Amino acid sequence: MSTLWVLGAGQLGAMLKQAGTPLGLDVRPVDIEATEALPLQADDIVTAEREEWPETVATKQLATHKNFVNLATFPQLADRLTQKQWLDRLELATAPWFPVEQDSTADYAYQTLGERVLMKRRRGGYDGKGQYWLKQAEKSEIPDDWKGQAIAEQAINFDEEVSLVGVRGKDGKKYFYPLTLNLHINGILYASISPLKRLDQYQSTAEVMLSKLMDALDYVGVMAMECFRVGDELLINELAPRVHNSGHWTQAGSNVCQFENHVRAVTGLPLVEAEIKNQSMMVNLIGVDLDYQWLNIKSLELYWYKKDVRPGRKVGHLNFCTGNLEVLHSALNSLAMPAPYPEAITWLKANLPA
């Protein structure tokens, strides 16, 4: 059996490895700073846990392998400018935007997009980093180092945020998980819920949107689409050509989780419709210390990433899956965590099915 190499050795790489193990696959996440020669074989397969990477000894070896799945897609989606251009070309609804050029002005932004405009750096942003609000009321201007480096987006007054995680095989067949409801606080994902009956009405629309993209890119593997729901409409916020935080609940809530689906797809193993179990919710662990007392909580599954804890840093997540909603509510009551968790817990309680 060939080896599946993963460019990147963070938590997503670790969870891809974990998912590949019962399948008898040798999945090897590679630290992008590794300097040794990798024993890559011609029939090995390469995937990535991140959409962009610096050129290093390790990434050069992986990126020149002929079986790097989706290699051409990564730069297209990693740059928000080309990602937005793809959405426009495919006529997929997204927040109105324009590229921030050297001669762009804040006045132009306010005239075309309204009084609140969100600039996003073309590259490298995540968890709300790489964002800059322009507010007409505060007479904000575009800083010089954002010119030529960003896109400007209309502030969307969304009802809620949902995401769709799908997988596409080499034969073009696609499968999707139910839509996930997401809570972001300060641009970072705190909590997710899936499935939710009330989101079923948007499922097929969302699937058509993501299908169009995956087909146009001839994409193989798991892709995530983050959306704003505005009334009955879905606007695409952004795309991730990889396994995604909003799909972590599938580790508990589906017989085939997103990590296994990605591994299956890129190695050419069979894909099937996943069985969704009961009710799932996920709570990200952001800037909080590991607390093994969490393991006393019924239906809880802990994923700790073994990273140094820093404010605002994702260091783990908690999955919950059960058919008993009372268990979920009592789990939430047991989670004593600092601000802004009370807000996330209130949101979860309010959005879980009654």
| Closest distance of CB 53 from ligand ATP, Å | 15
Site for ligand ATP in 164-193 (CB under 6 A): 184, 187
Q: Which of ligand ATP, Mg ion, none does residue 337 bind (CB under 5 to 8 Å by kind)?
A: none
Contact (Cβ atoms closer than 8 angstroms) between residue 161 and residue 319: no
Q: How many CB atoms lie within 10 A of CB 339?
A: 8
Which listed residue (4, 95, 150, 265) binds ligand ATP by CB under 6 A? 95
Which listed residue (79, 127, 207, 291) binds ligand ATP by CB under 6 A? 127
Which listed residue (63, 93, 121, 125) binds ligand ATP by CB under 6 A? 125
Q: Which of ligand ATP, Mg ion, none does residue 155 bind (CB under 5 to 8 Å by kind)?
A: ligand ATP
How many residues interact with ligand ATP (rule CB under 6 A)?
Answer: 18
Sequence-distant (6+) residues with CB within 8 A of 78 are 51, 52, 123, 241
Sequence-distant (6+) residues with CB within 8 A of 139 are 106
d(CA 196, CA 276): 12
86 phi and psi, to 5 degrees? -60, -45
Site string for Mg ion, 222-241 (x = CB under 5 A): ----x-----------x---
Site string for ligand ATP, 240-279 (x = CB under 6 A): ----------------------------------------
Q: For 171, left (φ over 0), alpha (ψ -120 to 50), or beta? A: alpha
Q: Which of ligand ATP, Mg ion, none does residue 125 bind (CB under 5 to 8 Å by kind)?
A: ligand ATP
Q: Which is nearer to ligand ATP, 182 or 261 (CB)?
A: 182
d(CA 176, CA 198): 17
